[in-house]
Amino acid sequence: MTKKITALKVQKRNPNRVNVYLDGEYAFGLARITAAWLQVGQELGDEKIAELQGQDTYEVAYQRSLLFLSYRPRSQAEVEQRLRKHGYEGPVIEATVERLTNSGLIGDEQFARLWVENRSAFRPRSRAMLRAELRHKGVAEEAILSALEEATDEEELAYQAGLKRARRWAGLEWNEFRERLSAYLARRGFVFETTASAVRRIWEEIQASEAEPTFGNEDERC
């Protein structure tokens, strides 16, 4: 049994989708790319309708994934989890992930490298914590190790992490400064020896900076 396409209308709320009308009644919606070859007057059998709706399922899953990726980079596991949340099953998830991978939009090595670079630049933390975060994201261990090999050394990471926070405690006495900054770095996964070295280095830089003489005071007289 076949039905005739009597209208193809772009959806008002989503111009990337088309409503298909068969024999004068709304039948289903399709992604615009899936409906591109359809024409008014064309006849569709049940098998062809099922095929179109199946293709649409794959296309919608792909478009959902692109939207998910538009906010920030994601690991493969995060994309898979997101698709399962929306009710997609194995074959659709596998095909979508393969399509995204082939397009260079996802990949554990790329994701792990970007994650480490971003953390090191804006929110430094220890290698152990970086590893734990990436594992939580479902990244493969090989990709994690490869990304960490390129990361800044542990002492520099601790120094950069501490430096960002130490400014607010610059007016404290040494003991309180050391206690607060050490606790802060410990929460970011740094071990005692690394933390102690970073705290001392930052304290000495702050003290040296405050001790530097100033010149050019207009009240000074020769």
61 and 122 part of one domain = no
Same domain, 50 and 138: no
Across 55-75, average pLDDT:
94
- Domain containing 169 equals 155-212
Domains identified in the chain, total number: 3
The pLDDT of residue 220 is 46
pLDDT per position as a tens digit, 132-165: 999 999 999 999 999 998 777 889 899 999 998 8
Question: Does the pLDDT of residue 44 top 60, yes or no?
Answer: yes
Encoding tokens for residue 12?
A: 């008002």
* Residue 114 banded pLDDT, cuts 50, 70, 90: very high
Mapped onto helix, strand or coil, the DSSP state of residue 103 is coil
Query: Does 164 lie in the same domain as 125?
Result: no
pTM of the shown model: 0.75
- pLDDT at site 211: 67
Residue 222 lies in a domain: no
Assigned domain for 220 exists: no
Query: Any idea of the CA torsion for 203, 204, 205, 210, to the nearest 10 degrees?
Result: 90
Does the structure show a pLDDT above 50 at 222?
no
